[in-house]
Amino acid sequence: MVGQMCGKTSGYSLIFFTRLTVMRTLVTGGAGFIGSHLADALLARGDEVTLVDNFSSGRRENIESAVTNGAEVIEGDIVDKVFVEETLQAVRPQTLFHLAAQGEVRRSIEEPSFDATVNVVGTVNVIEASKNIGLDRFVFASTGGAIYGEGSRIDLPAVESAPLAPLCPYGQSKLVGEQYLELYRRMYMFNSVALRFANVYGPRQNPKGEAGAVAIFGELLLAGENPVVFGDGTQTRDFIYIDDLIDAILTASRNDVEGPVNLGTGDETSLLELLDSLRDAGNSLNGSGPPDSASFEPSFASARTGEVKRIAISPARAAEELGWNPTTPLGKGLGHTLEALRARTPG
Ligand SMILES: NC(=O)c1ccc[n+]([C@@H]2O[C@H](COP(=O)([O-])OP(=O)(O)OC[C@H]3O[C@@H](n4cnc5c(N)ncnc54)[C@H](O)[C@@H]3O)[C@@H](O)[C@H]2O)c1
């Protein structure tokens, strides 16, 4: 019906119609690993996209394709309330994806007030400015890996109603972000969803960061170096491939589900199993494989404070509410990630 209307209208009406249907979206943390993939996907679906980032861990090379495809980039800090207010008043997005964060567990333990400043105060700034412009939909990047706390004490994979008991300030600050969204829902009927991401991996993840085991181990594998595992390597995580995650985020942004939704596979993979799968993926790389990938053997260091022994999160609510299920097997996702890492490695 809509298509027919388009066909019969004049050129002027067609432009008017197009403008009405184009969605204005804003991504905080848009130059980061996940934010830059989200930006590409939003542009591909035809949105007008603005990226806000202070480039503390984000990289300009991540957003080269987004910029080429028309994304607007605004450099600034979400901790700066005036900057956030003015930016949202000027851009007036309909949907906002809030991904900017201090994302490192270890740094959150060493500098809890910095973590709270970015992840709580910064998040409140973004929520308040969003409420002030009458935003339609707020999509929050929460954590499934750090919000439940130690998975050994609950049934795994964890469901959203499981008790929340973070073991590090990072998990706590994300929980507070979720609670602010609930508060704003009660106070202002503010519409939001809190997506609890599992351990996300894929191209563009920073191997120099602390958070991405796959990127860190993948880079070592390609360099022919052996990995150091903190703990005995039997600790488990739920690894979700970036393309699957982005599909879910896009669906959640156009859906009316509210509250927390896990985005994970529900599968526990130990770090030792991850290393085996990486070694296999390295051996299957096209062309010249990585040097000595067969001898990719870990050494062990003391387990780190604040890191849980076991976690995996159930995708059942996401399946029911979003019709989403992750489809990328670990081996395939690791293969894509290694190919991208190899393409970036000089020489
Ligand atoms: N990667 C994962 O496995 C994972 C898991 C759970 C949750 N998350 C959440 O997803 C989001 C994105 O994570 P990512 O892996 O892409 O991390 P990332 O570090 O690559 O991206 C975060 C982005 O936010 C920007 N940023 C940080 N502080 C800022 C500030 N004060 N003002 C403006 N911009 C700021 C950084 O420069 C960066 O571009 C984060 O909120 C993170 O907590 C990630």
Give the model confidence (pLDDT) of 320-338 as tens digits.
Answer: 999 999 999 999 999 999 9
Please choose from 34, 97, 107 the residue to mutate so as to test ligand 1's pocket, defined by most ligand atoms within 8 A of CB. Answer: 34
Confirm whether 291 is domain-assigned: no
The mean pLDDT of the chain is 92
pTM as predicted: 0.93
Q: Is residue 155 part of a domain?
A: yes
Mutation test residue for ligand 1: of 55, 56, 78, 307, the one with most atoms within 8 Å of CB: 56
Atom of ligand 1 nearest to the CA of 209: 19
* Cα of 278 from ligand 1 centre, angstroms: 24
Residue nearest to atom 12 of ligand 1 (CA): 99
Q: By C-alpha distance, which of 234, 250, 135 is closest to 184?
A: 135
Atom 2 of ligand 1, nearest CA residue = 200
Considering the domain boundaries, does residue 172 fall inside one?
yes
Q: If you average pLDDT over residues 62-85, what whole number do you get?
A: 98
The answer to whether position 286 is within a domain reads no
Which one, of 66, 205, 233, 50, lies nearest residue 135 by Cα? 50
Instruction: Indicate if 180 belongs to the active site.
Output: no
Residue 302 lies in a domain: no
- Could you read off the pLDDT of 151-174 as tens digits, one per residue? 999 999 999 999 999 999 999 999
**132 within some domain:** yes
In a domain, 93, yes or no: yes
- DSSP-based three-state secondary structure for 51: strand
CB 74 within 8 A of CB 50: yes
**CA 274, CA 121: separation in Å to the nearest integer?**
36
Q: What angle do CA 282, 201, 263 make, to 5 degrees?
A: 140
Q: What is the pLDDT of residues 224-264, one digit of tens each?
A: 999 999 999 999 999 999 999 999 999 999 999 999 999 99
* 40 in any annotated domain: yes
CA separation for the pair 40, 35 (Å, rounded) = 9
pLDDT, residue 306, reads: 82
* Nearest CA residue ID for atom 30, ligand 1: 77
User: CATH code at 184?
Assistant: 3.40.50.720
**Does residue 291 surpass a pLDDT of 90?**
no
Q: Give the residue whose CA is nearest to atom 20 of ligand 1.
A: 32
Q: Report the pLDDT value the prediction gives residue 285, as an integer from 0 to 100.
A: 85
In the chain, the number of structural domains is 1
Question: 3-state class of 114 per DSSP?
Answer: helix
- Atom of ligand 1 at shortest range from CA of 62: 39
* Ligand 1 atom index nearest CA of 206: 20
Domain that holds residue 194: 22-204+240-268+313-330
Catalytic residue, chosen from 170, 180, 201, 241, is: 170
d(CA 232, CA 270): 10
Query: Tell me: the pLDDT tens digits for 172-211?
Result: 999 999 999 999 999 999 999 999 999 999 999 988 776 7
Ligand 1 center to residue 167 CA distance, Å? 19
pLDDT digits (tens, 9 = 90+) for 209-229: 767 899 999 999 999 999 999
Amino acid letter for position 186: R
What separation in Å is there between the alpha carbon of 93 and the centre of ligand 1? 20
Distance CA 271, CA 278 (A): 10
- Ligand 1: lining residues by beta carbon, under 6 Å: 29, 31-35, 53-58, 77-79, 99-101, 103, 118, 122, 141, 143, 145, 197, 199-200, 211
